[in-house]
Amino acid sequence: MTTQTVAVGSPVGLHARPAAMIATAAGAYDDEILLSIDGDDEVDATSALMIMTLGADFGASVTVESENAAAVAEIAAMIAKDLDG
C-alpha cells in the first residue's frame, strides 16, 4: 500500500468544485483510492460527496492511500494545489 500525506492547497478547502475534480481524476483508476484526515475514517476518493464529508480546510493534512503509486501521486498533487485558482 502506498500512502502520501499532503496539505490542502485550495484556500477554501475541499468543497464541491475541488472535490469533484479529485473524484473525476480518481475515477480514472481501477484501483481503490482512499482519503483520510488524521487517521480518521477513510473515504472513497471517487465520490465528491464523501470527499466533502472530510471537512478538509485549507492546510489540513490529508492522507491518500492506494495500491497504485501513480494514483496516489496524482491525487496527492491535486489536493496540494489551489484547484480554485
Count of Cβ atoms closer than 10 Å to residue 41 Cβ: 11
Partners of 65 in beta bridges: 3, 34
Is residue 26, in this structure, part of any structural domain at all?
A: yes
What is the structure's pLDDT at 40? Answer: 82
Confidence of residue 84 (pLDDT cuts 50, 70, 90): confident
Nearest Cα residue to 16 out of 50, 63, 48, 60: 48
Tell me which residue range forms the domain holding 16: 2-80
- Cell 472513497 locates to 44
* Domain-embedded: residue 85: no
Total of domains in the chain = 1
Nearest CA-CA partner of 80 in 14, 3, 1: 14
Question: What pLDDT, in 10s, does the model give residues 23-65?
Answer: 999 999 999 999 999 878 899 999 999 999 999 999 999 999 9
Here the CATH number for the domain that contains residue 75 is 3.30.1340.10
Main-chain dihedrals φ then ψ at residue 54, nearest 5 degrees: -65, -30
Assigned domain for 67 exists? yes
